[in-house]
Structure 1
């Protein structure tokens, strides 16, 4: 069976919650249809933007089941299986396969730092045991471990590993990864930070895992297509719009969780899903929520109902 090759925009879906251990099911359904209506090429659940490390395993299982059932093979669904325990990673991958996911995504186990030798040997043992193809996820700010280039090139020899998502923000490293594709030309290399999406695709990357595509999916799809077809003028215009999102709604609040809070609060203001955060984090208080409301209006996003979620989100020019 041919291994999949992923290209395009794969939103790292936020996880709509109504309490610490309960999904906002109606919100999840609206969110999935919202991003699919923007023309995205796939979904990535249980990633950083989805608050995966803070979610209990039963909730993760329910999220996988509901997402795959609703998507119904319209686009590929990628499922994060990163865990500190290899047994849990294997179990989550088995569930993902049973529910119809297309691939699983794995970052280095967090908490204890890994040596490169240990990391490579861990993945070499794990990948062949997985029932789905594997995409590696480089997130050194959160895992304390970087996939060094030599390690990545060695892992390219593992057949079941089919791609790489890089969230390091290091473009020199990203170009070195692209240069290594001579080893595995079938690999997909996806950019994490959306601020680098245009550049990444212009130089040969295959797409992006863009958090802002939860909010404005078509904007990121359009940027990907413009970069893919080398329409530089349009890339510059769309990149500017992406940077406006990055420099506004991701900057409300003081802490590293602000970008997730900003996305969830924006989606709540648009009536798509609840903005409840997994503990120990909490949703924006009224002052920050009001500020985000103002910023969305400035960005050209009409907020139809600024507090309770409604069934009729109103999206305007920025999302086209």
Structure 2
């Protein structure tokens, strides 16, 4: 059973210039790399530094991403904000610019009751103007959306799926029991370390940040799944883990986003600037990251520059 919303969706970084404007050439390179590897972009999420971006940059990104979309492709746009009005406005702008669905996590300032969480997503779904994906990420919102609540929301006409980045094997298994057989609701895992487990157990797709650099790993993983090649799915998980380690190991989330951009810059995709409050690390750190990338490429027999 193939659902409307499925497959590999990459939580795209936001390429920036040294003056903190959108690096449009970088976006075009990145999208070309996504297209070459048959994956879809999800812009303005956590990996995209959305919480730190000026509204003008968000609108520029949405407009450019929408213009780059080609026939048969899907575009997902993050619209989360602590301002409900801003989330609604971003949603409507996204749908006016070729977005297929928008995604939103909870506002991250006030601790919310279950009732408040449910009401928030219902109101957003009522007003956003199109399909909405619930995004659960306690690492940044400091709240977990209960599965029971998501299941109740899943019957709203505009709520079409969930992206879950909560690192819990129990929650992953319970989610798949709830939704793997639901034709009208999709489950996406945003936890790259469990990509193979999720797909082999019935997940509809993945949203792995490592796909910014090597989207082909996850495209190949999906193809292996379709061919019922479980051994290859598991082998590709090891490659995913190795790529994630290049920029995530022993780093805070914000530090890892800078490190990921360093790797993408070294691969010829985009510039490596991050939006404050995120900051670059030392020159030694940067050199170490680049060295690790070259060692990985040598071990895998890959070329440095990504084909775009």
Scaled by the length of structure 1, the TM-score of the pair is 0.89
Tell me, what secondary structure is at the counterpart of 2:253? Answer: coil
Q: Which residue of 2 aligns with 1:22?
A: 21
Is the 1:20–1:277 Cα contact (8 Å) retained in structure 2?
no
Q: 2:57 aligns to what?
A: 59
Gaps of 5+ in 2: none
**C-alpha RMSD of matched pairs (Å):** 2.0
- Three-state SS of the structure 1 residue aligned to 2:297 is coil
Quote the residue 2:95 is aligned against.
Answer: 97
Q: 1:184: Cα distance to partner?
A: 4.2
Deviations 1:184-242 (A, max 9, x none): 43211001011111110100001101111110111111112223443121112111111
Preserved contact between residue 249 and residue 295 of structure 1 (Cα < 8 Å) = no
Distance 2:110 2:88 in 1: 19
Structure 1 gap segments, 5+ residues each: 303-311
The answer to whether structure 1 residue 280 and structure 2 residue 277 are counterparts is yes
- SS of the residue corresponding to residue 10 of structure 1 reads strand
Q: Is the deviation greater in 193-202 or in 284-293?
A: 284-293
Q: Tell me the alpha carbon deviations over residues 278-315 of structure 1, each in whole angstroms, 9 at most, x when there is no partner.
A: 1011224321111111111111169xxxxxxxxx9723
Q: How does 1:259-270 map to 2 (within 5 A)?
A: 259-270=256-267
C-alpha distance in 2 between matches for 1:96 and 1:236 = 36
TM-score (norm 2): 0.93
Shift of 1:182: 7.8
Q: Is the 8 A contact 1:191 1:207 kept in 2?
A: yes
Structure 2 counterpart SS, 1:43 = strand
Q: CA separation in 2, counterparts of 1:151 and 1:90?
A: 21
Q: Which moved more, 1:206-215 or 1:18-27?
A: 18-27
Aligned length, in residue pairs: 302
Question: Residue 175 of structure 1 corresponds to which residue in structure 2?
Answer: 173
**In structure 2, the residue corresponding to 1:186 is in which secondary structure?**
coil
How far did residue 156 of structure 1 move?
1.4
Structure 2 CA distance for partners of 1:121 and 1:57, relative to 1, 3 Å: same
Which residue matches 1:309? none
